[in-house]
Structure 1
């Protein structure tokens, strides 16, 4: 039985390019982001991987990334579950602000704390701990049971929602996961044993 889970952060978005805090805002992909998503599909195809079921967030940058990956795989008819439980971390009052402007307003140290601490949220937003509290129950109730039942699952989501999943899967601490960088459009392939232990992890960075 093939217990396969692939996680992929969306391709570069318009707001990534502009150095803006994005969160639950809904910009589309740049041309580079479209190319990254297509390249992700090509990498998965080169490995001979296919899927039975997909999950993504309620935000179009992740949904478009998934659609482009599936087009490269020739699997555009797969069932897709879209749920805001997989949305990016909500940056609250920082959403839409240029990161340099935010540093001028609140100070570099404070903005760094909001971005890189595990449990301190920005004003009106979520910390990574808050994001994990939203993402992990959904993952454990829906996604992981599909994987353990032998379905090959692809998840296209966001840097911080995927960090929450990786923290759980790899048994990392909050301090360890905030240091983990996830490149846009790079699939991470996990295979699992019958007891849920990770048999292998492959990062498909170029």
Structure 2
């Protein structure tokens, strides 16, 4: 979802930027799209960053399912942009060059320069991560490193819930969700940099018993998931067949 730092064109990462007014409206429309489908959930997973948390809350409100249990996990945080955090993107391009910024921003395995441990952007200086071993907290991340923290949480917490038949909603961030769909769809390292997950558009995955995804006719390759509506016009949605919805393990992803 769009935050205030989107409006300011700054690198956000783990900085706890609030949702912008546009981001809140995106979240409301996403919740309405889920409600129009008649979707019901059993559990919600989100990060420890307020823009994702509020997105989850707004969607739950639109669904009239505010009572759902919510698990907040730092492992679902956005990618950490290291020393780029807080910098103006255009100014960074002017200083470092467009090619270098593109490598930092979109490549799979090239992280930006790290933040210093005394930086306010190092998570070890934030009390919400006080119970986490500082050695596990990133000073910078590529998408590859983001996947390394998302995947263990998927395996230990979310996958068992889905396997038990629970209908799961994940409200997270563009890169933590890109990491997850890379795993679900077995997307190649050289392809994932081209994959974008639009904000405010729920992405529905149906999973087989072996947790391979069932490709949707409305999927945008290389993803198998189906967007609830055109990614460029999130107000439009297409209904799932009720029998299909009830019969399948279903995972809903949203950024």
For 1:128-143, list aligned pairs within 5 A: 128-143=143-158
Q: Is 2:185–2:212's contact at 8 Å kept on the other side of the alignment?
A: no
Residue segments in structure 1 that go unaligned for 5+ positions in a row = 1-10
Tell me the equivalent position of 1:5: none
Q: Does 1:195 align with 2:214?
A: no
Tell me the equivalent position of 1:4: none
Q: How far apart, in 1, do the equivalents of 2:98 and 2:52 lie?
A: 29
Q: Secondary structure at the match of 2:170?
A: strand
Shift of the alpha carbon at 1:91?
Answer: 0.3
Q: How far apart, in 2, do the equivalents of 1:14 and 1:184 lie?
A: 14
Q: Secondary structure at the match of 2:191?
A: helix
Q: Is 2:5–2:17's contact at 8 Å kept on the other side of the alignment?
A: yes
Tell me the equivalent position of 2:190: 175
Shift of the alpha carbon at 1:16?
Answer: 1.2
Q: Does 1:162 align with 2:177?
A: yes
Q: Secondary structure at the match of 2:95?
A: helix
Q: How far apart, in 1, do the equivalents of 2:30 and 2:192 lie?
A: 23
Higher relative contact order (Cα pairs below 8 Å, separated by 6+ residues): 1
Comparing 190-199 and 121-130, the one that deviates more: 190-199
Q: How far apart, in 1, do the equivalents of 2:82 and 2:211 lie?
A: 35
Tell me the equivalent position of 1:77: 67
Tell me the equivalent position of 2:42: 52
Q: Which runs of 4+ in 1 moved over 2 A?
A: none
Shift of the alpha carbon at 1:197?
Answer: 2.4
Residue segments in structure 2 that go unaligned for 5+ positions in a row = 115-139, 217-224, 235-255
Task: Count matched residues.
Answer: 196
Shift of the alpha carbon at 1:185?
Answer: 1.2
Tell me the equivalent position of 1:18: 8
Comparing 97-106 and 159-168, the one that deviates more: 97-106
Q: Which structure's residues are more often strand, by fraction?
A: 1
Identify the match of residue 31 of structure 1 among 14, 21, 25: 21
Q: How far apart, in 1, do the equivalents of 2:189 and 2:28 lie?
A: 32
For 1:72-111, list aligned pairs within 5 A: 72-111=62-101
Instruction: Please say which structure displays the higher CA radius of gyration.
Output: 2
Q: Does 1:151 align with 2:166?
A: yes
Q: Does 1:120 align with 2:120?
A: no
Tell me the equivalent position of 2:241: none
Q: How far apart, in 2, do the equivalents of 1:179 and 1:139 lie?
A: 23
Q: How far apart, in 1, do the equivalents of 2:56 and 2:70 lie?
A: 9
Q: Is 2:46–2:76's contact at 8 Å kept on the other side of the alignment?
A: yes
User: Alpha carbon RMSD of aligned pairs, Å?
Assistant: 1.0
